[in-house]
Amino acid sequence: MTLAIRTTDLTKDYAVGFWRKRPYRALDQLSLDVGTGDVFGFLGPNGAGKTTTLKLLMQLTFPTRGRAEILGRPVGDVDVKRRIGYLPEHPYFYDYLTAEELLGGFAGMFGYRGAERARRVGTLLDEVGIGPERRLALRKFSKGMIQRVGLAQALINDPEVVFLDEPMSGLDPLGRREVRRLILRLRDQGRTVFFSSHILADAEALCSRVAILVGGRLRTVGSLSDITAFHVRGWELVVSGVEEPVLMRMGLMQRTTRIGEERYAIELPIDEPPDKVLSDLTVTGARLVSLNPIRDTLEDFFVRQVSGVDPPESRVKG
């Protein structure tokens, strides 16, 4: 696997407290590999260390320990910066510049000039849905529009790796759908997308791989199917040709949902083998329609990972 991002024991302590400064560990020995072409979801509850990781990758903060590389080179390298894009969480830009001017300036930093620069800016603003308002000062923009401008600036240099910190934040349902499409388009173009989110539906819809970060520590990393596939928490048995009194007699009514005429879905816990219930039912004349394992959703998995984590105070030392 060619690596787009690699972090090794990446650790960040912040000093907290007014008079007596104490270190607060925001990120604890994060070791992570992200392959090129992945849409990688960096998940965790608020305060998990997602933004800290992204800031370390952008060298907006410096690590206390450990190292990080993007495209095989140390972070902060100007040549690396040419090949990446970054959307910060809750982006903010200059009040008195227009979207066109802002993007034009950023394009200039990557060496775009004249007509090529104007074309690049125009295409990107079209792509994120900013119309004639592109000539208005940014202070007149809504939060959602600023987020779109933020996305456009992250893509101004046609980046190989795109870092998006909570890209759906501040967007209405339509905007969220457009961003999802945009991320999928980036994936189809072979780009690596590394995005942080606490909205699991986004990750489920988009990611090939995810990492779950809790309390500054990496809890798990892997493909979405790997993470959820091994957590079968029960069985769903769909049968037809059976009547309610039979189900009642067998003590199954509490776990049964009627889905049609003499057709029922029965949920069985993982420790209750479905073959025994099935053979009992077939004796009464019931027919098996389907038998499926009930797997964890990412949300179930996430909640299980997050519960029982140390409260933030316990991460302050001294």
Q: Rule CB under 8 A: which residues touch another protein? A: 14, 55, 58-62, 78-79, 81-82, 84-88, 90-97, 101, 105-106, 108-111, 137, 150, 153-154, 163
How far is the C-alpha of 203 from the C-alpha of 212, rounded, in Å? 11
CB of 156 to another protein, least distance (A): 8
CB of 163 to another protein, least distance (A): 8
Q: Would you say 96 or 173 has its CB closer to another protein?
A: 96
Q: Would you say 117 or 219 has its CB closer to another protein?
A: 117
Q: Which two tokens stand for residue 6?
A: 């690699």
CA 113 to chain centre: 35
Strands 263-269 and 192-197: unpaired
Q: Would you say 24 or 178 has its CB closer to another protein?
A: 24
How far is the C-alpha of 129 from the C-alpha of 179, rounded, in Å? 10
Q: Would you say 52 or 305 has its CB closer to another protein?
A: 52
Q: Would you say 59 or 208 has its CB closer to another protein?
A: 59
| Buried b or exposed e, range 1-33, using 16+ CB within 10 angstroms | eeebbbbeebbbbeeeeeeeeebbbbbbebebb
How far is the C-alpha of 26 from the C-alpha of 67, rounded, in Å? 15
CB of 219 to another protein, least distance (A): 24
CB of 71 to another protein, least distance (A): 14
CB of 59 to another protein, least distance (A): 7
User: What is the DSSP track for 126-179?
Assistant: HHTT--GGGGSBGGGS-HHHHHHHHHHHHTTT--SEEEEESTTTT--HHHHHHH
CB of 164 to another protein, least distance (A): 12
How far is the C-alpha of 51 from the C-alpha of 84, rounded, in Å? 17
Q: Which residues contact 57 (CB under 8 A, 6 or more apart)?
A: 5, 7, 68, 70, 75, 163, 194
CB of 74 to another protein, least distance (A): 14
Q: Would you say 54 or 212 has its CB closer to another protein?
A: 54
Q: Would you say 4 or 252 has its CB closer to another protein?
A: 4
